Chain A
Amino acid sequence: GQQVMQIPQYQHVQEGEDFTTYCNSSTTLSNIQWYKQRPGGHPVFLIQLVKSGEVKKQKRLTFQFGEAKKNSSLHITATQTTDVGTYFCAGPSGTYKYIFGTGTRLKVLA
């Protein structure tokens, strides 16, 4: 069945360093979504990418959708302690639902 994998599973960075998480799908995606989950919290929607090669920015976060629409990345510039959490990508599976990636847990050391 369809699988969405993320790497790395964990990442520890010093505050101010950059961070990137990668999302890879076993199938071509019509779109991809990203979510953030703070420790002890629930996932919160960040953004959706639709077009091949699309790049979107939200302040220090840069999201990219691969040319083949099978992979995506989230890059955070100059991490802050508020960036701590787990980042998930999600790809459509059929018409009505999304399959979530395994997530990347980010820890930021002050």
Chain B
Amino acid sequence: NAGVTQTPKFQVLKTGQSMTLQCAQDMNHNSMYWYRQDPGMGLRLIYYSASEGTTDKGEVPNGYNVSRLNKREFSLRLESAAPSQTSVYFCASSGRGLDPYGYTFGSGTRLTVV
């Protein structure tokens, strides 16, 4: 089925460990995004990629890095995980930045840092 695929779905890390969250879309979308969701905080933008070859910081980029590997794939890396990074992470894509058809979200990665 066409859409946005995120892996893994669940992950537990120890403080200081590193990991990469993977995201791939098969809708030929140009723009991709990483959001984190915390209770009462809504969805906060971490990084985005307006098009292949570009990445930019969002509202809460500290502690994260991203790579737009190709048009389909956009990964999020935590170099040294902290308990404050415990959250649900969503990847999203859209045809273009301000797409009237909205964003398509992946099913999320639930990350716990202990």
CB within 8 Å of B: which residues of A?
1, 6, 9, 30-31, 33, 35, 41-46, 48, 50, 88, 92, 94-103
Q: A101 CA to B59 CA in the complex, in Å?
A: 13
CB distance from A81 to the nearest CB of B (A): 22
State the interface size on chain B (CB cutoff 8 A). Answer: 27
- Please state if A97 and B90 are interface contacts (CB–CB under 8 Å): no
- For the A-B complex with A43-B105, A88-B43 known, give 7 more contacts whose Cβ atoms are closer than 8 Å: A42-B107, A48-B100, A95-B50, A97-B45, A99-B45, A100-B43, A102-B40
- Please state if A42 and B106 are interface contacts (CB–CB under 8 Å): yes
- Is there a chain A Cβ closer than 8 Å to B61's Cβ? no
The 29 sampled A-B contact pairs (Cβ below 8 Å) are A6-B42, A9-B40, A31-B100, A42-B105, A42-B106, A42-B108, A43-B90, A43-B103, A45-B102, A48-B100, A48-B102, A50-B100, A88-B42, A92-B98, A94-B97, A95-B97, A95-B98, A96-B31, A97-B45, A97-B48, A97-B58, A97-B97, A98-B98, A98-B103, A99-B59, A100-B42, A101-B42, A102-B42, A103-B43
- Is there a chain A Cβ closer than 8 Å to B74's Cβ? no
Q: A109 CA to B97 CA in the complex, in Å?
A: 38
Known: A96-B97, A97-B97, A99-B59. A43 touches B107 (CB 8 A): no
Residue interface bits B82-114, CB-to-A below 8 A is 1, else 0: 000000001010000110111111111000000
With a cutoff of 8 Å between Cβ atoms, the chain B residues found around residue A33 in the complex are 102
Q: A97 CA to B106 CA in the complex, in Å?
A: 17
